[in-house]
Amino acid sequence: MNNRDDDYFVRRVAPTKNDEIKRSSPAPGGRDGEIRNAPKSTVPVPKNEKKEELTTSKKVVKALTFDYFGKPSGIDSVFLILLIMVIAVGTVMSFSASYAYAEKKYDDSYHFLFEHIKNLLFAFVVFVAMTFAPPEVFKAFTYVVSVVAIILLICVLIFGEVRNGAKRWLDLPLLPLFQPSELAKLAIIMIYAMFFAGQREKITSEKNGESFIYGMIYPGLILLVFVGLIYFEHHFSAIIIFAGIAFAMMLVGGTKIRWLALIIIAGVSAIAVLIFLSGYASGRVKVFLDPWSDPSGKGWQTIQGLYAIASGGIFGVGLGNSIQKFGYVSEPQNDFIFTIVCEELGFVGAFAVMMLFLALILRGFYIAKKAPNRYSYYLVMGIMIKLALQVALNIAVVTKTLPNTGISLPFFSSGGTQLMLQMIEMGIVLGISRYSHLKK
């Protein structure tokens, strides 16, 4: 320590005779010897110390990293562990359910396994990026994601590939085949999160006119844009999921119950009309009511799926020992993969998979509850609502509780687009969990 530092220490820290006299004198409003509101630190900061000035480069980094939002902490380890477990079980079952069909169609029993792992590794990179991004980044890109999703939905109607009578896929240069409707699901969640976060007071207003406009009309118009485009894709399952996301987010967003009752009535009526007008959807409803009326045609998938579930019993026939995947359940690696889970793992294994999904969803809701701001809360809630809807609807379809609508099982069914978007969404949830320690 140089002489200057020694002088500073003696002058600022070492007690002097005057300091002792001041301490011994009565403090205002307190007992003798007490100093009210005394600072905890014994070493005061020098008055002449200047605040650090940020260089231009540091200011740019601060802005790009949204440093003003708050310092992050660790991710939610419970959610991450549950997610890894779901992905691991899904990968194993994807291979077990697909190798027979892959051998027959591609002469390579590992075809779908390699595709699944390749998609998973590519999605993992984006997942990590989302995990380390602050919530304000997602908010900043809400309109970009939404506009891109709408443009791609329009492109599907013009340039889309037709498969099984439905035009849902885009095959663009330098990009793999993908479904824009998957991106649109995330887009509507992001739009609703921003809208409900910004208009909460008007949505919950005691003025009926204001609460109706902001709680019903505006969310309904947003939904109409997406559903209107998807209707022409013959993608009825996506319409159901969009409607479910909209209803659930309006519920948590503060829309009054009386307006939600109107939504239920209008939604059921609209779905009935769509089924009546769409021969594609009405045919599936007829098969749902009586699949044995066309056992070798439209009812084949449903009947064989039920046979697979019944064959599993309590403990299943054993991993890899399914009979129904050998040409009976059509494309068992896709929408009906849960029937193979039931057959090979039985009721116990199927129940364990459902409980694993339930634990992941509930942990996601917990992260939403601890979210640092309103936008983050609605964003996580929307993502977990979407996951819950897809899991519930897929299981309901394969167990013949609902008509066959072509809804995949997250992290189990094959498909690069959906896996990529699911990993992005899980990354967003984990990214927001890093800020759950901040005061709201």
- Give me the mean pLDDT over the 211-239 stretch: 88
332 pLDDT exceeds 80?
yes
Q: Are 400 and 302 in contact (CB under 8 A)?
A: yes
Task: Return d(Cα 28, Cα 9) in angstroms, integer.
Answer: 29
373 pLDDT exceeds 60?
yes
For residues 204 and 261, membership in a common domain is answered with yes
Task: Return d(Cα 144, Cα 126) in angstroms, integer.
Answer: 17
Instruction: List residues bridging with 361 in a β-sheet.
Output: none
Q: Helix, strand or coil for residue 128?
A: helix
How does strand 166-169 pair with strand 161-163? Answer: antiparallel
Q: Helix, strand or coil for residue 372?
A: coil
Q: Which of 249, 273, 297 is the last residue of a domain?
A: 273
| Domain assignment of residue 47, yes or no | no
For residues 200 and 145, membership in a common domain is answered with yes
| Domain assignment of residue 193, yes or no | yes
Percent of the chain residues topping a pLDDT of 70 = 79
| Domain assignment of residue 8, yes or no | no
Domain count of the fold of the chain: 2
| Domain assignment of residue 391, yes or no | yes
Query: In the prediction, which pLDDT does 210 show?
Result: 87
Domain that holds residue 393: 83-132+278-440
Q: Which of 250, 273, 296 is the last residue of a domain?
A: 273
Angle at 55 between CA 51 and CA 61, to 5 degrees: 110
Long-range contacts formed by 230-235: CB under 8 A, 24+ apart: 230/153, 230/181, 230/184, 231/274, 232/157, 232/167, 233/153, 233/156, 233/157, 233/160, 233/166, 233/167, 233/168, 233/181, 234/165, 234/166, 234/167, 234/168, 234/278, 234/280, 235/166, 235/168, 235/181, 235/406
- Give me the mean pLDDT over the 405-426 stretch: 90
Query: In the prediction, which pLDDT does 190 show?
Result: 96
For residues 265 and 348, membership in a common domain is answered with no
Query: In the prediction, which pLDDT does 379 show?
Result: 96
Instruction: List residues bridging with 163 in a β-sheet.
Output: 166
Q: Which of 216, 251, 273 is the last residue of a domain?
A: 273
Query: In the prediction, which pLDDT does 367 show?
Result: 96
For residues 296 and 388, membership in a common domain is answered with yes
Where does the pLDDT of residue 50 fall: very low under 50, low under 70, confident under 90, or very high at 90 and above? very low
Query: In the prediction, which pLDDT does 403 show?
Result: 81
Query: In the prediction, which pLDDT does 74 show?
Result: 80
Q: Which of 109, 44, 4 is nearest to 326 (CA)?
A: 109
Query: In the prediction, which pLDDT does 142 show?
Result: 92
For residues 354 and 291, membership in a common domain is answered with yes
162 pLDDT exceeds 80?
no
For residues 180 and 327, membership in a common domain is answered with no
Q: Are 341 and 332 in contact (CB under 8 A)?
A: no
| Domain assignment of residue 399, yes or no | yes
Which ranges constitute the DSSP H helices of 107-141? 111-131, 135-140
Q: Which residues contact 283 (CB under 8 A, 6 or more apart)?
A: 298
- Give me the mean pLDDT over the 222-236 stretch: 87
Choose the weakest-confidence range: 127-136, 212-221, 263-272, 405-414.
263-272
Quick count: other Cβ atoms within 10 Å of Cβ 378?
24
Q: Helix, strand or coil for residue 309?
A: helix
Q: Which of 424, 431, 422 is nearest to 389 (CA)?
A: 422
| Domain assignment of residue 30, yes or no | no
Instruction: List residues bridging with 162 in a β-sheet.
Output: 167
Whether the model pTM is above 0.85: no
For residues 293 and 389, membership in a common domain is answered with yes
Query: In the prediction, which pLDDT does 209 show?
Result: 83
**DSSP assigned state of 25:** S
Where does the pLDDT of residue 341 fall: very low under 50, low under 70, confident under 90, or very high at 90 and above? very high
Q: Which of 202, 223, 200, 228 is nearest to 213 (CA)?
A: 202
Query: In the prediction, which pLDDT does 419 show?
Result: 92
Q: What is the number of H-type helices and E-type strands within the chain?
A: 18, 2
- Give me the mean pLDDT over the 175-196 stretch: 90
Q: Are 88 and 80 in contact (CB under 8 A)?
A: no
Task: Return d(Cα 409, Cα 190) in angstroms, integer.
Answer: 22
For residues 127 and 158, membership in a common domain is answered with no
Query: In the prediction, which pLDDT does 439 show?
Result: 62
Instruction: Return the top range by mean pLDDT from 38-47, 55-64, 129-138.
Output: 129-138
Tokens (6 digits) for 316: 């299943």
For residues 291 and 424, membership in a common domain is answered with yes
For residues 323 and 440, membership in a common domain is answered with yes
Query: In the prediction, which pLDDT does 27 show?
Result: 47
Q: Which residue has the higher pLDDT, 62 or 129?
A: 129
| Domain assignment of residue 35, yes or no | no
- Give me the mean pLDDT over the 156-185 stretch: 79
91 pLDDT exceeds 70?
yes
Quick count: other Cβ atoms within 10 Å of Cβ 228?
11
Where does the pLDDT of residue 360 fall: very low under 50, low under 70, confident under 90, or very high at 90 and above? very high
Where does the pLDDT of residue 279 fall: very low under 50, low under 70, confident under 90, or very high at 90 and above? low
Q: Which residue has the higher pLDDT, 161 or 67?
A: 161
Instruction: List residues bridging with 169 in a β-sheet.
Output: 161
Query: In the prediction, which pLDDT does 36 show?
Result: 44
For residues 175 and 106, membership in a common domain is answered with no
Task: Return d(Cα 49, Cα 174) in angstroms, integer.
Answer: 56
| Domain assignment of residue 243, yes or no | yes
For residues 298 and 410, membership in a common domain is answered with yes
Tokens (6 digits) for 176: 């793999």
Average pLDDT, the chain: 82
Choose the weakest-confidence range: 7-21, 190-204, 327-341, 358-372.
7-21
12 pLDDT exceeds 80?
no
